[in-house]
Amino acid sequence: MRRDTYKHQGLRQQLIETLRKEGIRNERVLEAMAKLPRHLFLEKAFEEWAYKNVAFPIGNDQTISQPQTVAIQTTLLDIKKGDTVLEVGTGSGYQACILSLLGARVYTIERQSKLFKRTDKLLRDLGFVAIRTFLGDGYAGLPMFAPFDKILVTAGATSLPENLIDQLTIGGHLVIPIGDGEVQTMWRYTKVSEEEIQRESFGKFKFVPFLKGTQ
């Protein structure tokens, strides 16, 4: 197992200061990000990139989200201890671990089998044994484990997947980037009642595409 050295911890603290300067104010989210060694989610050769505020390739044409994006999406979810949370787009597993550190019961789906296997092993090796990982198409959600208090999509969708709204509890949030091209708008949908959905927008982001089917 790779180590978390003083150097990594120092760089991580600097990243937290950068996030504060960028306007991230949620102390619980910052605390979780200060704890989790992000370099362990990147290949060793690219470790130096782990504590810069940038997205980074993790293989299989995918990226680990920019730390600031993780902080914003996590803040929008407003995680309470014991919340049942579905993440769509496991990728490196970093976001799933942040949700777990905040006390959520995490279910996460990835559509690429290679990435799924690699990340599933990493999560076990890191001791995040409570995170439940699934290989599948996130468009379908996870009906067997629904409803979820919170749902997070970490890939750029072109429209709102109705299945995911159906799988929210009343009062639950769905945080999802939606857009036609390379840029998406961050939306937070709230299921106010069975009939009423509210939505708020939170600026522009760039995600890898939310694709149908598995691979």
Q: Which of residues 83 and 110 has its CB atom nearest to ligand SAH in the complex?
A: 110
Instruction: Assess 161 for contact with ligand SAH (CB under 6 A).
Output: no
Instruction: Assess 88 for contact with ligand SAH (CB under 6 A).
Output: yes
Instruction: Assess 167 for contact with ligand SAH (CB under 6 A).
Output: no
Give the residue, chosen from 51, 187, 205, 210, that forms a contact with ligand SAH under the rule CB under 6 A.
210
> What does 54-72 look like in DSSP terms, one character per residue?
S-EEEETTEEEPPHHHHHH
For residue 82, CA distances in Å to 91, 150, 160 come to 23, 11, 26
Active site residue 201: no
| Euclidean distance between CA atoms 71 and 145, whole angstroms | 26
Token digits of residue 119: 């990340």
Minimum separation from the CB atom of position 193 to ligand SAH (A): 28
**H-helix or E-strand spanning residue 135:** strand 132-135
**H-helix or E-strand spanning residue 98:** helix 94-101
Give the residue, chosen from 26, 32, 40, 65, that forms a contact with ligand SAH under the rule CB under 6 A.
65
Instruction: Assess 68 for contact with ligand SAH (CB under 6 A).
Output: no
Q: What letter would DSSP give residue 83?
A: -
Instruction: Assess 155 for contact with ligand SAH (CB under 6 A).
Output: yes
| Binding piece for ligand SAH, criterion CB under 6 A, among 3-11, 20-28, 133-141, 143-151 | 133-141
Instruction: Assess 205 for contact with ligand SAH (CB under 6 A).
Output: no
Count residues contacting ligand SAH (CB under 6 A)? 24
Nearest in space to 195 (alpha carbons), one of 161, 170, 215, 167: 170
Give the residue, chosen from 24, 79, 102, 138, that forms a contact with ligand SAH under the rule CB under 6 A.
138
Burial code (b: 16+ CB inside 10 Å, e: under 16) for 59-72 equals eeebbbbbbbbbbb
User: Which residues does the annotation mark as catalytic?
Assistant: 65
- Residues lying near ligand SAH in the complex (CB under 6 A) are found at 62-65, 88-89, 91-92, 94-95, 109-112, 115, 137-139, 154-155, 208, 210-212
